[in-house]
Amino acid sequence: MAFAFGRCLRRGSCRKEKLSLGTPCRQARERIVTFTPWRNLGKKTGFTECSLAETLEGGQSFLWAKTASGSWLGTWGDNITELRITSGSLQWRTPKQRILERKEILRYLAIDSEYDAICDSLPWRSDAVLADAMKRFRGLRILRQPLSETLFCFLLSSVKSIPQIKDLCLNTAREFGEELFPGIHAIPTWERLAEVGEQDLRNLKYGYRAKYVAATAARLAAEPDFLGNCEKMPYVEARSKLIELPGVGSKVADCALLFGGAKLEAFPVDTWIAKVMSDRYGMVGWGLDQIASFGRIHFGSHAGLAQQFLFSAVRAG
C-alpha cells in the first residue's frame, strides 16, 4: 500500500491516504511511500487503545503522532514504524525500504519483558493510589529508546508542555537531522548538533536551552563513548555522570535514564509527580530529590513504571 507523506490535499481530492509526522502541510513535498502489509504482534501484548496512546504520546517520546486513520506513526533512532490496534491485536508495519525485524519492535515496546511479573512486583496491594492508576492504564509500558535521543529531548523539556517539546524536537530533526523518508527526519546526532551554532538553535525558539544543548553537544562529540559508558553503569553512577553535562539536572537525568537507558529504578519528579505525591501521599513541602528518593524506596526496583502510571493518571484527572 502506498502513502503520500507531506503536503495535505483537500478531502476527496486524492484517494491515496496521507500521513505526516510534524511536517507543515505548506512546506512538505508530496511523495509516495510504500509500506509493508500489516503484521500482528499479537493480542497478548497487554496494550489497550488507551495505554498504547499513553505509552507513545504520554511524555516518554515526542516523536509519535496519531494519523487520520487512527494509527500511530513514529520514529526512534533511524527506524520508522506505524502501529495500530485492530480487533484487540497490536499490528505494525514499516516502509518497505526500511523493514524492521519483529524482535526490534518487541524490544522497543518492551513487549519482550516479563511485564506481568514486573507489574505484580509493584506495591499496588498496599497502595490504593497506584492500584487505581494501574487499573486505568492497564498495559502502559516504558519504551526502550536510544539514550542519546531521550537526553536531547528532555534537555528541551524545561518549562515546556508535551506539544511544545514535540514541536522543538520535530523542528530540530527537520532542520538538522537525516531524512529517513520523505518528510520524516531523525533527531540529529550530537556530532551534528556540535556543528550547529548556538544562534541557529535559538532561531528554532530554544531560548536559554540553546546554550545547554550546544555545550552538551560539544562535550559528547569530544567524548563519543560518554553515553555508551553511562548505559553500562549502575543507575546511581550513571545519574551522577549525566548531571555533569551542561543543563542536565536530576529530572532530566532520570528521564533520560528511565526512557532511554533502561534504568527502571529511576523516578523522575516533575510538576505532575510532585502534585500527586503532595496531594495523595502527604508529601507537602518535600523537595524534589526527597520525593525521588522516597519513590525509589517505596516503589522498588521498577519505580519508573509506577511513576509513569501515576503521571498518566494525574494528568488525566
**pTM for this model (two decimals):** 0.89
Question: Which pLDDT band holds residue 237 (cuts at 50, 70, 90)?
Answer: very high
Q: Tell me how far CA of residue 163 lies from CA of 22, 160, 166, 222, 231, in angstroms.
A: 11, 8, 5, 32, 28
pLDDT of residue 42: 76
CATH class name, domain 2-112: alpha beta
Which carries the bigger pLDDT value, residue 72 or residue 4? 72
CATH for 127-143+264-317 (3.40.30.10, 1.10.1670.10, 3.40.50.1000, 3.40.50.2020): 1.10.1670.10
Q: CB within 8 A of 282, min separation 6: which ones? A: none
> Using CA atoms, how far apart are residues 144 and 152, in angstroms rounded to an integer?
15
> Domain ranges in the chain?
2-112, 127-143+264-317, 147-260
Cell (9 digits) for 172: 530540530
Place of cell 530554544: 206
Among the listed residues 75, 20, 84, the one whose alpha carbon sits nearest the alpha carbon of residue 49: 84
CATH for 147-260 (3.40.50.1240, 1.10.340.30, 1.10.1060.10, 3.30.360.10): 1.10.340.30
Among the listed residues 294, 219, 207, 212, the one whose alpha carbon sits nearest the alpha carbon of residue 246: 212
> Using CA atoms, how far apart are residues 178 and 78, in angstroms rounded to an integer?
8
pLDDT of residue 21: 57
Distance separating the N- and C-terminal Cα atoms of the chain: 39
Q: Same CATH topology for 2-112 and 147-260? A: no
Task: Output b/e per residue, 164-203; b: 16+ Cβ within 10 A.
Answer: ebbbbbbbbbbebbeebbbbbbbbbbbeebbebeeebbee
pLDDT tens digits, one per residue of 202-221: 999 999 999 999 999 999 99
Cell (9 digits) for 86: 485492530
Give the mean model confidence (pLDDT) for residues 39-67. 93
Give the mean model confidence (pLDDT) for residues 292-306. 98
Burial (Cβ within 10 Å: 0-12, 13-18, ≥19) of residue 15? exposed
> Using CA atoms, how far apart are residues 154 and 231, in angstroms rounded to an integer?
17
Among the listed residues 216, 202, 212, 215, the one whose alpha carbon sits nearest the alpha carbon of residue 172: 202
> Using CA atoms, how far apart are residues 274 and 134, in angstroms rounded to an integer?
18
> Using CA atoms, how far apart are residues 170 and 23, in angstroms rounded to an integer?
8
Residue 13 has what DSSP assignment? S
pLDDT tens digits, one per residue of 112-137: 879 999 999 999 999 999 999 999 99
